[in-house]
């Protein structure tokens, strides 16, 4: 089977592909070194741990290199305050049918 021609568009993609290849190579080595009857168990342990790390690193790299503006820092949004009884409401009233 001929490997597909993959075109990477930025350094983040290159980093994630490199890490994914390292994970696959480590999985192959773990399967080859695992004792008989333990191949699946050893491979699953490695895949879960390293897969989480790969996902975390990919997310971190994407967020660190995102073109979007950073999230605003300031007060968190919350429920609007409602004036008590007898208080004058400010703002426009909508026309009622």
> Each residue of 8-24: pLDDT tens digit?
999 999 999 999 999 99
Residue 46 domain-assigned?
A: yes
Other beta carbons within 10 Å of 32 = 8
34 pLDDT more than 80: yes
State the pLDDT confidence band at 57, using cuts at 50, 70 and 90. very high
Q: b/e string for 50-89 if b means 16 or more Cβ within 10 A? A: beeebeeebeebeeeeeeeeeeeeeeeeeeeeeeeeeeee
Alpha carbon distances (Å) from 80 to 22, 76, 92:
51, 12, 16
Determine the distance from the C-alpha atom of residue 73 to the mean position of all C-alpha atoms in its chain, rounded to a whole number.
Answer: 21
Whole-number pLDDT of residue 24: 96
- Greater confidence, 73 or 40? 40
The answer to whether position 94 is within a domain reads: no
42 in any annotated domain: yes
Range of the domain at 50: 11-64
Mean pLDDT of the chain: 84
Q: What predicted TM-score, i.e. pTM, was given to this entire model? A: 0.61
Number of structural domains, the chain? 1
- The answer to whether residue 34 sits within a structural domain is yes
């Amino acid at each position: 089977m001929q490997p597909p021609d993959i075109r990477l568009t930025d350094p983040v993609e290159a980093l994630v592909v490199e890490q994914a290849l390292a994970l696959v190579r480590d999985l192959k080595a773990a399967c080859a070194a695992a004792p008989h009857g333990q191949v699946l168990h050893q491979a699953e342990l490695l895949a879960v741990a390293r897969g989480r790390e790969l996902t975390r690193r990919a997310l971190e790299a994407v967020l660190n290199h995102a073109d979007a503006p950073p999230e605003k820092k300031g007060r968190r949004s919350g429920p609007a305050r409602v004036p008590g009884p007898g208080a004058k409401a400010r703002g426009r009233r909508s026309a009622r049918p």
